[in-house]
Amino acid sequence: MDHNIANIRYDYRLKGLHEADLDPDPLKQFRLWFDEVLEADIFEANAMLLSTVSEGRPTGRIVLLKDLDERGFSFFTNYDSKKGQEIGQNPQVALTFFWKELERQVRIEGKIEKTSEEESSEYFAVRPRGSQIGAWASAQSEVIPNREFLEAKTSELEARFEGQPVPRPPHWGGYRVMPDYVEFWQGRPSRLHDRLAYTKVGGEWRIERLSP
């Protein structure tokens, strides 16, 4: 087996992407692609890279898309986490989806804001009970002494909420990314990929083809 990283390559040949194929609204176009992803039964289809910036230093992590509407892309997390603190300092973020099975990538840039209390509570109520307890047990991104500390905290909370619904923690809720730039990438042979970008200009979307 060849373990030379430089020799890893793949020639994309599944499909092309043409301007005539695109919906004028990038959120509707994303929905069309995402429906194809779901039909393809791709594992963790809603996994996306969230990139934030704090004091000029970028960081990234995978989060899960939980809602999509005409306003933007929503996910839920601990507001006191590292990403929550960075979002508080700089609300400009980026999302990246990569579905290798369909040879597609989508890049999204825009401003982020918290979802409403009602939206956060509504989603929290349908989470598995273990995940609800976990939202209370984990002081996300903070240093802990060991695994046993986390397990003891979880057991304590399970006893505390036994026989009753788990309320949403005040430090936990949703964010919505409202895009002003969305780029659709379709892999093509010889690295001559299709890249079509939507940029919001004066409230309208402009579509341009980018060189690969």
Annotated binding site: 9-12, 61-66, 76-77, 82-83, 105, 123, 127, 131, 140-141, 185, 191-193, 195
Residue ranges for the known binding site for substrate are 9-12, 66, 123, 127, 131, 191-193
User: 65-84: b or e for each residue (b if 16 or more CB lie within 10 Å)?
Assistant: bebeeeebbbbbbbbbbebb
Paired strand residues for 53: 58
Annotated binding site for FMN: 61-66, 76-77, 82-83, 105, 140-141, 185, 195
Let me know if 188 is a catalytic residue: no
Closest-CA residue to 182 (of 42, 38, 68): 68
* Tokens, residue 110: 């825009």
Under DSSP, is residue 165 helix (H, G, I), strand (E, B) or coil?
coil
Q: What are phi and psi of 118, to 5 degrees?
A: -65, -45
CA-nearest of 197, 202, 200 to 29 is 197
Given 13, 129, 160, 191, the catalytic residue: 191
CA nearest to 180, candidates 131, 88, 108, 130: 108
Q: Which of 18, 208, 178, 203 is nearest to 111 (CA)?
A: 178
Q: What share of the chain is helix, strand, coil (3-state, %, to 5)?
A: 30, 35, 35
Which residues are identified as catalytic? 191
